[in-house]
């Protein structure tokens, strides 16, 4: 045999027998299938079909939702294959020659005297985002996968890819850490929401998605608004209206968690939602809970992190807190996320502040008025 003798074609039956009968052009070449033969088999009436550039489905008929998701990821993922010396090859076909799908996690036998190389990340530098990601996260307000004409896929900004077929390319300067959902890398909820909202003009749909994100416990309002701000979507009137509803929803949930924390952890009952004022003097500001006997006030930070408003609101909070503490009133500052994730710890923080009241100088007398 000479070096010019072509390799014998490798059988394709093990590829076509998988749950997802998807292959890449590199895989087909590794199995001895030429580009011309691939084109012939993908003609109308042929046994295969080309779903996306360099992605072939080894059967006719409509692809399943699972196949569409993985086809989009195969199209968008950076080709990374493992070579047998334990290194990586960004453009080679060593992994494909071993029958490994491009972009999919692969393990290679360890050579004697060499350390094992970690598996290649599945679908490198690509993840599902937008409405498809929200559906995978379990959003009832998101449409079912079969009804989506396109599937958004998030990739780094400098990747040379174009939107085509059922794959819509969404670019980002900083790729977030994906979440695995049924074996599919999916963008975090806040990022997926921002990418979905960018393509939506229906105010009702936007409001339902944002509300479900908070009410369903997927994420906090601040993280959603932060992503919307990064995407420069807060200038759209229907998005601003939905954000206002989102912030109100988030505050209501945070207050419910606060009431539950006080009740379930045996804290003294405070007076709720009051404005503090010096007798005959100016208004000191509102607080969410106040223990007059202990001179302890509690504030929930439900800021939405909306551009310059965030800095101005934080400065206002800081001035109020400094004023109250000069009067001898301890201010406990809690966030909705802390209340959600570790209520026991937050209850301990409040209890410590209440117990320390006896060791402090008496605070100035203030009047608490209902808001």
Per-residue pLDDT 10s for the chain (371 aa) are: 444 444 445 555 555 544 458 889 888 988 889 999 999 999 998 999 999 999 999 998 899 999 999 999 999 998 654 333 444 444 344 343 333 444 443 333 333 444 444 343 468 899 999 999 999 999 999 999 999 999 999 999 999 999 999 999 999 999 999 999 998 999 999 999 999 999 999 999 999 999 999 888 898 888 898 899 999 999 899 999 888 888 888 888 889 999 999 999 999 999 999 999 999 888 898 999 999 999 999 998 876 555 445 566 667 778 888 889 999 999 999 988 889 889 999 999 999 999 998 888 888 889 999 98
Residue 354 falls in which region: left (phi positive, over 0), alpha (psi -120 to 50) or beta: alpha
pLDDT for res 122: 67
SS3 236: coil
Q: Measured in Å, how far apart are the chain's first and last C-alpha atoms?
A: 90
Phi, psi of 115 (to 5 degrees): -80, 150
User: For the segment 51-91, what is each residue's pLDDT rounded down to a tens digit?
Assistant: 999 999 999 889 999 999 999 999 999 865 433 344 444 43
Q: 265-298: string of b/e by CB count within 10 Å (b at 16+)?
A: eeeeebebebbbeeeeeeebbebbbbbbebbbbb
SS3 21: coil
Closest to 73 measured CA to CA, from 54, 89, 46, 96? 54
Count of residues in the chain: 371
- What pTM was estimated for this model as a whole? 0.71
Task: Provide the token pair at 363.
Answer: 């605070």
Cα three-residue angle 221-140-225, rounded to 5 degrees = 15
Dist CA 131 CA 112 (whole Å): 47
Dist CA 305 CA 292 (whole Å): 31
Distances (CA, A) of 150 to 59, 167, 205: 21, 6, 18
SS3 129: strand
User: For the segment 18-32, what is each residue's pLDDT rounded down to a tens digit?
Assistant: 445 888 988 898 888
Confirm if 102 and 77 have CB atoms less than 8 A apart: yes
């Amino acid at each position: 045999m000479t070096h010019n003798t072509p390799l014998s074609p490798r059988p394709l039956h093990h590829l076509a027998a998988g749950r997802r009968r998807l292959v890449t052009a590199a895989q087909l070449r590794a199995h001895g299938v030429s580009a011309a033969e691939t084109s012939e088999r993908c003609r109308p009436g042929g046994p295969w079909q080309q779903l996306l550039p360099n992605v072939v489905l080894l059967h006719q008929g409509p692809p399943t939702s699972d196949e569409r998701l993985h086809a989009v990821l195969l199209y968008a993922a950076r080709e990374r294959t493992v070579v047998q010396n334990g290194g990586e090859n960004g453009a080679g076909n060593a992994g494909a020659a071993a029958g490994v799908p491009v972009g999919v996690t692969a393990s290679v036998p360890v050579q004697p005297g060499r350390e094992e190389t970690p598996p290649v990340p599945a679908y490198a530098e690509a993840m599902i985002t937008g409405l498809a990601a929200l559906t995978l996260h379990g959003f009832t307000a998101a449409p079912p996968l079969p009804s989506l004409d396109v599937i958004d896929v998030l990739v780094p900004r400098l990747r040379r890819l174009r939107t085509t077929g059922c794959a819509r390319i969404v670019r980002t300067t900083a790729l977030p850490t994906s979440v695995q959902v049924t074996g599919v890398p999916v963008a975090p909820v806040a990022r997926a929401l921002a990418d979905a909202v960018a393509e939506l003009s229906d105010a009702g749909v936007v409001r339902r998605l944002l509300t479900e994100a908070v009410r369903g416990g997927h994420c906090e309002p601040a993280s959603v608004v932060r992503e919307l701000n990064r995407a420069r979507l807060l200038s759209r009137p229907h998005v601003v209206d939905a954000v206002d509803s989102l912030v109100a929803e988030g505050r209501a949930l945070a207050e419910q968690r606060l009431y539950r924390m006080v009740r379930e952890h045996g804290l003294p009952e405070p007076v709720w939602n009051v404005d503090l004022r010096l007798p005959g003097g100016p208004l000191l500001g509102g607080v969410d809970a106040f223990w007059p006997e202990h001179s302890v006030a509690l504030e929930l930070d439900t800021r939405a992190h909306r551009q310059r408003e965030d800095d101005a609101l934080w400065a206002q909070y800081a001035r109020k807190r400094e004023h109250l503490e000069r009067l001898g009133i301890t201010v406990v500052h809690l966030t909705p996320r802390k209340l959600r994730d570790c209520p026991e710890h937050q209850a301990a923080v409040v209890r410590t502040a209440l117990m320390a009241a006896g060791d402090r100088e008496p605070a100035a007398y203030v009047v608490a008025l209902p808001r």
